Amino acid sequence: MVSLPSPRKPRTSVNQPTPGYRVFQGVNGVILTLVVVVTLYPFVNIVARSFSGERQIRAGEVTLWPKGFNLTTYEIVFNDGMFWRNYGNTVFYTVVSTAVAMALTTCYAYVLSKKHLKGRGFLVGVAVFTMFFTGGLIPNYVLITSLGLKNTVWALALPNAISVFNLLVMKAFFESLPDELEEAAQIDGLSTYGILRRIVLPLSKAVVATMVLFYSVSFWNSWFSAFLYMDRTDLMPVTVYLRNLIAGATQGGNAGATTEQLSQTAANIQAVTIVLTSLPILCVYPFVQRYFVSGVMLGAVKG
């Protein structure tokens, strides 16, 4: 294509940017750099605070780098038995809840993916309606309480066992599998359960992995259900431990620490807890991010 520059009809192409477009690219670069800085700065600052001395934090000297470097705060948090107990609870709750959620979601998504199934529209409707109308906080609270699920892992796992969005993503994936494989397996005498376990699931490793990630991150991060349904501190997940620190309901640190030591570090205990709680997510994030993106795309396109 020949493009003749003319003052009246400026023609632009990717290869020949106009001066105006070049200015825009520069401005764009500045804006996006700002976005990166604004997003990352709080993290960097929190990490710096977690290693800093109390006096330097109070004076507002900590910005990008620890001032008055020390590990006292980490020691205090590491020595707090309740912190580790709650951390362990988070791991346990996440594993159990994700397992339950995967079992139910996979089964239902597989059923919904069968286009010939009589009553399929109704089964889809049952799930989709709950996206737009829910019972609300109070009836749920009353229900969980009267079912006697309080202070058990089931209060966290069961009410969140199926996320309709995840269900639709999985259904879309199962629908994209070729029917012929399953038909062949059926002729070979496999039952529906056998087909699901031996044919469909091995072909769906990618979507299963994505769903496990979706669920486990959301269970790891959740706090409100536990806050609502767990009465004892030793049953709390670490997110509620952090919440209680933020709300000033607890001081953190172990009981053995001197009051002086406690008051000296009260502020950066929060920073340390924030760092330690988000650490697992931050560690796996770079590797799993693309699964999340592809999962959301699949759900958005098909759902």
Dihedral sign for Cα 170, 175, 179, 181, please: negative
Our finding on whether 59 is near another protein (CB under 8 A) is: yes
Span from 71-79, 80-88, 179-187, 258-266 in contact with another protein (CB under 8 A): 179-187
Min separation Cβ 135 and another protein, Å: 2
Three-state SS at 15: coil
Q: Which is nearer to another protein, 256 or 300 (CB)?
A: 300
Task: Kindly state the number of chain residues that form the binding site for another protein, as judged by CB under 8 A.
Answer: 111
CA atoms within 13 A on the CB side of 230: 24
Our finding on whether 151 is near another protein (CB under 8 A) is: no
Site for another protein in 99-138 (CB under 8 A): 103-105, 107-108, 110-111, 114, 117-119, 123, 126-127, 130, 132-138
- Exactly one of 5, 23, 26, 28 binds another protein (CB under 8 A); that residue is 28
Question: What is the rounded CA–CA span in Å between residue 273 and residue 289?
Answer: 24
Min separation Cβ 254 and another protein, Å: 20
Min separation Cβ 68 and another protein, Å: 13
Question: What is the rounded CA–CA span in Å between residue 121 and residue 73?
Answer: 56
Question: What is the rounded CA–CA span in Å between residue 185 and residue 233?
Answer: 51
Min separation Cβ 133 and another protein, Å: 5
Residue 72 phi, psi (nearest 5): -55, -45
Q: Which is nearer to another protein, 146 or 258 (CB)?
A: 146
Structure tokens at 255: 């009981």
Min separation Cβ 282 and another protein, Å: 8
- Exactly one of 5, 26, 58, 88 binds another protein (CB under 8 A); that residue is 58
Element (H, E) at 143: helix 137-146
Our finding on whether 2 is near another protein (CB under 8 A) is: no
- Exactly one of 243, 250, 254, 261 binds another protein (CB under 8 A); that residue is 243
Would you put residue 253 in left (φ > 0), alpha (ψ -120 to 50) or beta? left
Our finding on whether 22 is near another protein (CB under 8 A) is: no
Min separation Cβ 20 and another protein, Å: 8
Our finding on whether 261 is near another protein (CB under 8 A) is: no
Q: What are the residue ranges of helices labelled H in 133-258?
A: 137-146, 154-157, 164-176, 179-187, 192-194, 201-203, 205-221, 224-229, 238-246
Three-state SS at 230: coil
Our finding on whether 209 is near another protein (CB under 8 A) is: no
Site for another protein in 73-102 (CB under 8 A): none
Our finding on whether 186 is near another protein (CB under 8 A) is: yes
Q: Which is nearer to another protein, 11 or 234 (CB)?
A: 11
Per-residue exposure over 51-61, b if at least 16 CB sit within 10 Å of its own CB, e if not: bbbbebbeeee
Angle at 293 between CA 287 and CA 296, to 5 degrees: 140
In total, the chain counts a number of residues equal to 303
Span from 65-73, 77-85, 234-242, 250-258 in contact with another protein (CB under 8 A): 234-242
